[in-house]
């Protein structure tokens, strides 16, 4: 069965600082990997996805993520955080082109001014 | 493209009552998913449709839960004899056939008193 671990429940960074959110997955084959963001009272918005190919993927809002098969990781990064990035971030793994997503428990990002 | 819509956005009900939620996916998306999200957790998969066929159900989906997608367009999720443990955000997502990029609706927040 697939699973996702997000080790950091809560992270606080200063505006303008760099950000890295950790995600580790467990899946026997090549996974489909996703990062979603959820603002209070809002639905989930897809930031980026990895299916195959280049292991460094670019997403919206200046985010990027790197797939490392050897470490079973898919960490999310942003070079300079903006106050509007404060939200909950979820990593998810899927088994193929048409399957359920398994989500991590999320990381809440707080941005200080 | 108006996105995935869900109705109602909020539902308060008394224990033992039946409730029904509706999801309208992005037009032409053939896959539709239901997830449940409780406070402090990531979304958990409930069930999935391809067109009108229900292809997978989670063990979380007890006999009190039923979902339909009669014409392969909108879907309904019904909970019978609601319990306080059913209080959660119910999320709907849809995707197109060639990838697993799921677009989420804003959710229906259920409170069972």
What does the pLDDT look like over B51-99, one tens digit per residue? 999 999 998 888 999 999 998 899 999 999 999 999 999 999 999 866 7
Q: Which among B42, B97, B104 has CB closest to A105?
A: B42
pLDDT, residue B28, reads: 87
Q: State whether residue B19 is helix, strand or coil.
A: strand
Provide the β-strand partners of residue A5.
A24
Q: Which residues, in sequence order, are CB contacts of B3 under 8 Å at separation 6+? A: B26, B103, B105
**Cα nearest neighbour of B45 on chain A:** A100
- Substitution target in A9, A49, A101, A107 with the highest count of B β-carbons within 10 Å is A101
d(CA A18, CA B106): 29
Please check whether residue A90 touches B, CB under 8 A. Answer: yes
Residues 17-76 of A with CB under 8 A from B: 32, 34, 36, 42-46, 49, 51
Please check whether residue B108 touches A, CB under 8 A. Answer: no
In degrees and rounded to multiples of 5, residue A92 shows phi and psi of -140, 150
CB within 8 Å: A106 and B98: no
CB within 8 Å: B42 and A42: no
**Cα nearest neighbour of B33 on chain A:** A100
Please check whether residue B42 touches A, CB under 8 A. Answer: yes
pLDDT, residue B113, reads: 96
Residues B90, B112 contacting (CB under 8 angstroms): no
Please check whether residue A100 touches B, CB under 8 A. Answer: yes
Q: For residue A85, what is the DSSP state?
A: G
DSSP string, chain A: --EEE---SEEEEETTS-EEE--EEE-SSPPEEEEEEE-TT--EEEEEEE-SS-SEEE-GGG-EEEEEGGGTEEEEEESS--GGG-EEEEEEEESSTT--EEE---EEEEEE-
CA dihedral B96, B101, B106, B108 (to 10 degrees): 80
* pLDDT values of chain A reduced to their tens digit, one per residue, 113 residues: 889 999 999 999 999 999 999 999 998 787 899 999 999 878 899 999 998 888 999 999 999 999 999 999 999 999 999 999 999 999 999 987 668 899 999 999 999 99
CB within 8 Å: B103 and A46: yes
**Cα nearest neighbour of B101 on chain A:** A49
Please check whether residue B85 touches A, CB under 8 A. Answer: no
What does the pLDDT look like over B3-54, one tens digit per residue? 999 999 999 999 999 999 999 999 989 999 999 999 989 999 999 999 999 9
């Amino acid at each position: 069965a697939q699973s996702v671990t997000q080790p950091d429940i809560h992270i606080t960074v200063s505006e303008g600082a760099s950000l890295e959110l950790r995600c580790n997955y467990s899946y026997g084959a090549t996974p489909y990997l996703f990062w979603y963001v959820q603002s209070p009272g809002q639905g989930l918005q897809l930031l980026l996805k990895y299916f195959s190919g280049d292991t460094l993927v670019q997403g919206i809002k200046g985010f990027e993520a790197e797939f490392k098969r050897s470490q079973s990781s898919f960490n999310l990064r942003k070079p300079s955080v903006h106050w509007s990035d404060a939200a909950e971030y979820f990593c998810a793994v899927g088994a193929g082109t048409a399957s359920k997503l398994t989500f991590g428990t999320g990381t809440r990002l707080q941005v200080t001014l | 493209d108006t996105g995935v819509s869900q109705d109602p956005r909020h539902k308060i009900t008394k224990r033992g009552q039946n409730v029904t939620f509706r999801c309208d996916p992005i037009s032409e998306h053939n896959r539709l998913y239901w997830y449940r999200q409780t406070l402090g957790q990531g979304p958990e998969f409930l069930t999935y449709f391809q067109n009108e066929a229900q292809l997978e159900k989670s063990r979380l989906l007890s006999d009190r839960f039923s979902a339909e997608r009669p014409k392969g367009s909108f879907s309904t999720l019904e909970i019978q004899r609601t319990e306080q443990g059913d209080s959660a955000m119910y999320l709907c997502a849809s995707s197109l056939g060639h990838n697993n990029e799921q677009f989420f609706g804003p959710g229906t927040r259920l409170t069972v008193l």
